[in-house]
């Protein structure tokens, strides 16, 4: 294994926490599974998608990785927001959120993801694809809810499945490459070209 192991890379942990949870919820949005799976996603969103990503983001801060800090802590907070929204609604602590209001919130997350995607042009193609797919997912879900078009929500579910699997692939690649101390699973070069501004294997959603 690599000799330089003073600090571990938290990105693979944050990526798999995000990716696995995203796949599960996207299976519901795509209409493959019903609301019973969504109830199973809630504790997963809190424990894995939410808390693990917040933890990874704090570790990225320690590593001096601005991109990783912003990405992991933000999407970790997103999963906490989603879980609390469902729990608060189901227990009558807040009024039911209208599809239009939910759509606006998801569109704002799409805008955030789009500007984070710009940063991936200096990272690698794998992360570039994750953030692009995630932005598309948010916009499809957002406009689908806002406009009341179920087909867009379903499409967002299918793109979300691909997004989550893509994030899990990047996690797999980074863990495997660390274990072998060389690139065994490709992540792709830098899309924009030139030297990277952050370590290629230390950042992601």
pLDDT tens-digit readout, 149-189: 999 999 999 999 999 999 999 999 999 999 998 999 999 99
DSSP state of 1: -
- Hey, CA dihedral for 4, 10, 15, 16, is it positive or negative? positive
CA quadruple 169, 174, 175, 180: dihedral sign: positive
In the predicted structure, residue 92 carries a pLDDT above the cut 60: yes
Spell out the residues 6+ positions from residue 92 whose beta carbon is closer than 8 angstroms to its own: none
Helix axes 35-44, 66-90, angle to 10 degrees: 130
Give the residue-averaged pLDDT of 76-103: 94
The domains located in the chain, with CATH, are 11-180 (1.25.40)
Q: Please check the confidence at residue 204 and state whether its pLDDT lies above 60.
A: no
Give the per-residue pLDDT at 198: 46
Averaged pLDDT, 110-139: 97
pLDDT of residue 188: 94
Mean pLDDT across the stretch 73-86?
97
What is d(CA 92, CA 17) in angstroms, rounded to the nearest whole number? 29
């Amino acid at each position: 294994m690599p000799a330089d192991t003073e600090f571990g890379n938290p990105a693979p942990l944050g990526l798999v926490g995000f990716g696995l949870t995203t796949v599960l919820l996207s299976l519901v949005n795509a209409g493959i599974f019903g609301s019973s799976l969504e109830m199973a996603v809630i504790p997963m969103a809190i424990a894995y998608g939410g808390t693990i990503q917040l933890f990874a983001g704090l570790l990225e801060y320690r590593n001096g990785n601005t991109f990783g800090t912003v990405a992991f802590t933000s999407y970790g907070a997103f999963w906490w927001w989603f879980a609390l929204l469902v729990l608060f609604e189901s227990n009558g602590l807040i009024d039911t959120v209208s599809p239009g209001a939910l759509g606006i919130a998801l569109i704002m997350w799409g805008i955030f993801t789009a500007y984070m995607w710009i940063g991936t042009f200096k990272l690698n193609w794998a992360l570039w694809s994750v953030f692009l797919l995630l932005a598309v997912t948010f916009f499809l879900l957002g406009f689908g809810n806002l406009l009341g078009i179920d087909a867009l929500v379903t499409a967002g579910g299918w793109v979300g499945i691909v997004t989550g699997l893509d994030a899990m692939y990047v996690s797999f690649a980074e863990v495997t490459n660390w274990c072998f101390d060389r690139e065994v699973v490709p992540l792709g070069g830098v899309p924009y070209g030139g030297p990277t501004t952050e370590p290629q294997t230390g950042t992601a959603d």
